Structure 1
Amino acid sequence: MKKTVPAHPHAIAAREDRRAAAIAMGVDEAFIATLVDRFYAAIRRDALLGPIFDERIHDWPAHLAQMNRFWQSILLGAGNFTGNPMAKHLAIPTIGESHFQHWLGLFYATLRDVAPSEGAVALVGARARMIAESLLTGIAVHRDRDPDITRRMVLPHV
């Protein structure tokens, strides 16, 4: 049986500091819920990304709840997300850089509309870009066998 090692007190304090800083910018559970709801409403209307999601998402309330947990974990250190985003994205044979560019454009537009502060735009936008870059890199390496993708990747910033 695998033994669980408790988090170091410094790591716990650092996580709490990041959470407090995010909340001070207005990045809290209510903001995340609004961002997720509005962003995925935009995705569903989008001509490029909507069909990709429609093929794969059959229970939108469950997906939105999962995305709320994902972003709470990313932005607030909630630790309530379970799942494998990389595997989900690797399973889409046609997804590529243009899709991630477009996804980020929609995400940033939604973020700017709902963010309570410029700090929130910067924090959440940077995390979204980091996630897009990580997923795109994983797809390039594991699906496309292209380890040099990061040298050519062009993703927008918030």
Structure 2
Amino acid sequence: MQPIRAHAPAHPHAAAARAARRADAKVIGIDEAFIAAFVDDFYAAIRADALLGPVFAARIDDWPAHLAQMNRFWQSILLAAGSFSGNPMVKHLAIPGLDDAHFAHWLDLFYATLHRLAPTPEAAKLVGEKARMIAESLLTGIRLHRDRDADLFSKVELPHV
């Protein structure tokens, strides 16, 4: 009997696509250093925010660990790093009262940080679009699974970068 492998080797086309995504991101200034600085600055703003600060403070006991996890998350999203493991949807579903206003405000803070720190306009556009897509996905999941809102045709109104 053959041993079970934890992870199958990446298909050559998938590996090439990830490498191309990393290279494209780096050309516009998105690298590990930018992501680390962004995560630190953004979550400092979150912690100081009157609306979102208490939501995060009630759930995060170890900020260095959370920042490391968010760093891995954004490196996986922006650089195809594959270093993130977790389930953001489950985490967000467990927060009572989380709604459109929270996500819109989160995006406003995200974009403000992004406009301060983005190395290029192309980086700001790409990172901002990814953040909005993630916020829309989480909000849709909350509406469907937590709120049991079957009307998925109702438009999510979130700010753009």
Q: TM-score, normalised to structure 2's length?
A: 0.93
Q: Tell me which of 42, 47, 50 is aligned to 1:47.
A: 50
Supply the RMSD in Å over aligned alpha carbons: 1.4
Q: Tell me which of 90, 93, 103 is aligned to 2:93.
A: 90
When residues 150 and 125 of structure 1 are mapped into structure 2, their CA distance, relative to the original with a 3 A threshold, is farther
Matched, 1:125 2:117: no
Which segments of 5 or more consecutive residues in structure 2 lack a partner in the other structure? Answer: none
Write the letter of the residue equivalent to 2:29. Answer: G
Percent of paired sites with the same residue? 68
Q: Tell me which of 144, 147, 154 is aligned to 2:147.
A: 144
Q: Which structure's residues are more often helix, by fraction?
A: 1
Q: Computing the radius of gyration over CA atoms, which structure comes out larger, 1 or 2?
A: 2
Alpha-carbon distance between aligned partners in 2 of 1:118 and 1:145, rounded to the nearest angstrom: 39
Say which SS state the counterpart of residue 158 (structure 2) adopts.
coil
Alpha-carbon distance between aligned partners in 1 of 2:69 and 2:63, rounded to the nearest angstrom: 10
Structure 1 residue 6: Cα displacement: 3.3
Matched, 1:31 2:34: yes
Alpha-carbon distance between aligned partners in 1 of 2:17 and 2:80, rounded to the nearest angstrom: 10
Structure 1 residue 16: Cα displacement: 0.9
User: What residue in structure 2 maps to residue 66 of structure 1?
Assistant: 69
Alpha-carbon distance between aligned partners in 2 of 1:2 and 1:101, rounded to the nearest angstrom: 42
Q: Which moved more, 1:145-154 or 1:55-64?
A: 145-154
User: What residue in structure 2 maps to residue 20 of structure 1?
Assistant: 23
Q: Tell me which of 78, 84, 91 is aligned to 1:81.
A: 84
Alpha-carbon distance between aligned partners in 1 of 2:119 and 2:153, rounded to the nearest angstrom: 32
Q: Deviations over 1:57-89 (max 9, x none)?
A: 111111001100000001001111111111110
When residues 42 and 3 of structure 1 are mapped into structure 2, their CA distance, relative to the original with a 3 A threshold, is closer
Structure 1 residue ranges (4+ consecutive) displaced by more than 3 angstroms after TM superposition = 1-6
Structure 1 residue 150: Cα displacement: 4.9
User: What residue in structure 1 maps to residue 159 of structure 2?
Assistant: 156
Say which SS state the counterpart of residue 44 (structure 1) adopts.
helix
Which segments of 5 or more consecutive residues in structure 1 lack a partner in the other structure? Answer: none
Write the letter of the residue equivalent to 2:117. Answer: V
Matched, 1:114 2:120: no
Alpha-carbon distance between aligned partners in 2 of 1:2 and 1:15, rounded to the nearest angstrom: 21
Alpha-carbon distance between aligned partners in 2 of 1:40 and 1:83, rounded to the nearest angstrom: 18
Q: Deviations over 1:10-46 (max 9, x none)?
A: 2211111111000111100000001000000000110
When residues 4 and 150 of structure 1 are mapped into structure 2, their CA distance, relative to the original with a 3 A threshold, is farther
